[in-house]
């Protein structure tokens, strides 16, 4: 499975940085998921449970607040005011 570099940052600094298989969360126009090779885009995000999936099947979940998701050709950055990992 293809992976991409995901960084989750808050005003207090980076809270997560690793290679992942997929991230799913709530964008301004509804729920969305990003996998490797996704077309680049930028969207605002709404408070939700963010789910990160790894290529070995493991998951990481966290409650995020408002923010911005930037999807690039090789990496994804989630900027949020806070994240609380479950």
Q: Quick check: is 70 in a domain?
A: yes
pLDDT tens per residue, range 22-63:
999 999 999 999 999 999 999 999 999 999 999 999 999 999
DSSP code at position 75: E
User: What's residue 1's pLDDT?
Assistant: 80
Q: Quick check: is 86 in a domain?
A: no
Q: Quick check: is 48 in a domain?
A: yes
Based on the structure, what is the number of domains in the chain?
1
**Chain mean pLDDT for the chain:** 97
pLDDT tens per residue, range 10-28:
999 999 999 999 999 999 9
DSSP code at position 39: P
Residue 68's domain comprises 4-81
Q: Please give the model's pTM, rounded to 2 decimal places.
A: 0.94
CATH at residue 39: 2.60.15.10
């Amino acid at each position: 499975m293809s992976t991409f570099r995901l960084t989750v940052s808050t005003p207090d600094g980076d809270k997560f940085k690793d290679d992942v298989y997929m991230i799913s969360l709530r964008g301004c126009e509804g729920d969305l998921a990003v996998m490797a090779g996704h077309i680049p885009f930028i969207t605002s995000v709404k408070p939700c449970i963010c789910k990160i999936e790894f290529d070995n099947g493991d998951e990481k979940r966290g409650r995020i607040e408002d923010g911005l998701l930037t999807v690039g050709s090789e990496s994804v950055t989630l900027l949020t005011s806070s994240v609380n990992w479950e």
